Structure 1
Amino acid sequence: MSLPSFPIKKVLVLLILLAVPGTLYYLLKEKGQNRYRPLPIYGTKQVAKTFHIKRRKQIPDTIYHVVRDFKFLNQNSDSISFPADSNQITVVNFFYTRCPVFCLGMNKEMARVAKIYNNNRLMRFISISVDPENDSPSVLAEYSKPFVAENKKWDFLTGDKELIYSIAKNDFLVDAIQDTSNKQNIIHSPMLILIDPQKRIRGYYDSSRGQDQVNLLIDEIKVLITEELRSIKDR
Structure 2
Amino acid sequence: MNDLPLKVKKLIILVLILAVPGFFYYLLTVKGKNRYKPLPHYGPKQVAKTGHKFHGKYIPDTIYHTIGNFSLTNQLGKTISSKDFESKVFVVNFFYSNGPALVGAMEKNIDRLAGAYRKNRMVKFVSITVDPDRDTPDVLLKHAKKLGYAADKWIFLTGDTSTIYPLARNGFLENAVKSGGQFIFSNKLILIDADKHIRGKYDGASLQDVVKLNDEIKVQIAEELRKIKAPN
The two structures have a TM-score, normalised by structure 1, of: 0.81
Bigger Rg over Cα: 1
Query: Which residue, out of 212, 226, 229, partners 1:233?
Result: 229
**Measured at CA, do residues 73 and 53 of structure 1 come closer, stay the same or move farther in structure 2, by a change above 3 Å?**
same
Q: Distance in 1 between matches of 2:33 and 2:144?
A: 43
Q: Distance in 2 between matches of 1:126 and 1:147?
A: 13
Deviates more, 1:69-78 or 1:215-224: 69-78
Written as runs of structure 1 = structure 2, the 5 A alignment for 1:93-104 is: 93-104=93-104
Deviates more, 1:100-109 or 1:32-41: 32-41
Shift of 1:146: 2.1
In structure 2, the partner of 1:13 is none
Written as runs of structure 1 = structure 2, the 5 A alignment for 1:116-195 is: 116-149=116-149, 152-180=152-180, 183=181, 185-195=182-192
* 1:93/1:128 contact within 8 Å kept: yes
Shift of 1:130: 0.4
Shift of 1:58: 0.7
In structure 2, the partner of 1:27 is none
In structure 1, the partner of 2:201 is 204
Q: Distance in 1 between matches of 2:134 and 2:175?
A: 19
The residue type paired with residue 213 of structure 2 is: L
Q: Distance in 1 between matches of 2:123 and 2:167?
A: 21
The residue type paired with residue 148 of structure 2 is: V
Q: Distance in 2 between matches of 1:56 and 1:85?
A: 35
Shift of 1:155: 0.8
**Measured at CA, do residues 32 and 135 of structure 1 come closer, stay the same or move farther in structure 2, by a change above 3 Å?**
closer
Deviation digits for residues 84-106 of structure 1, max 9, x if unmatched? 14211111000001112311111
In structure 1, the partner of 2:14 is none
In structure 1, the partner of 2:209 is 213
Percent identity at matched positions?
Answer: 48
Shift of 1:179: 2.3
Mind listing any 5+ residue stretches in structure 2 that lack a counterpart?
Answer: 1-30
**Measured at CA, do residues 32 and 138 of structure 1 come closer, stay the same or move farther in structure 2, by a change above 3 Å?**
closer
Q: Distance in 2 between matches of 1:40 and 1:129?
A: 27
* 1:148/1:154 contact within 8 Å kept: no
**Measured at CA, do residues 58 and 34 of structure 1 come closer, stay the same or move farther in structure 2, by a change above 3 Å?**
closer
The two structures have a TM-score, normalised by structure 2, of: 0.82
Q: Count how many residue pairs are aligned between Structure 1 and Structure 2.
A: 201
Does residue 1:87 correspond to 2:83, yes or no? Answer: no
Q: What SS does the aligned partner of 2:213 have?
A: helix
In structure 1, the partner of 2:28 is none
Q: Distance in 2 between matches of 1:151 and 1:135?
A: 16
Q: Distance in 1 between matches of 2:144 and 2:124?
A: 15
Deviation digits for residues 10-65 of structure 1, max 9, x if unmatched? xxxxxxxxxxxxxxxxxxxxx97452221110000101111111111110010110
In structure 2, the partner of 1:53 is 53
Q: What SS does the aligned partner of 1:132 have?
A: coil
Q: Distance in 1 between matches of 2:147 and 2:189?
A: 16
* 1:118/1:151 contact within 8 Å kept: no
Mind listing any 5+ residue stretches in structure 1 that lack a counterpart?
Answer: 1-30
The residue type paired with residue 173 of structure 1 is: L
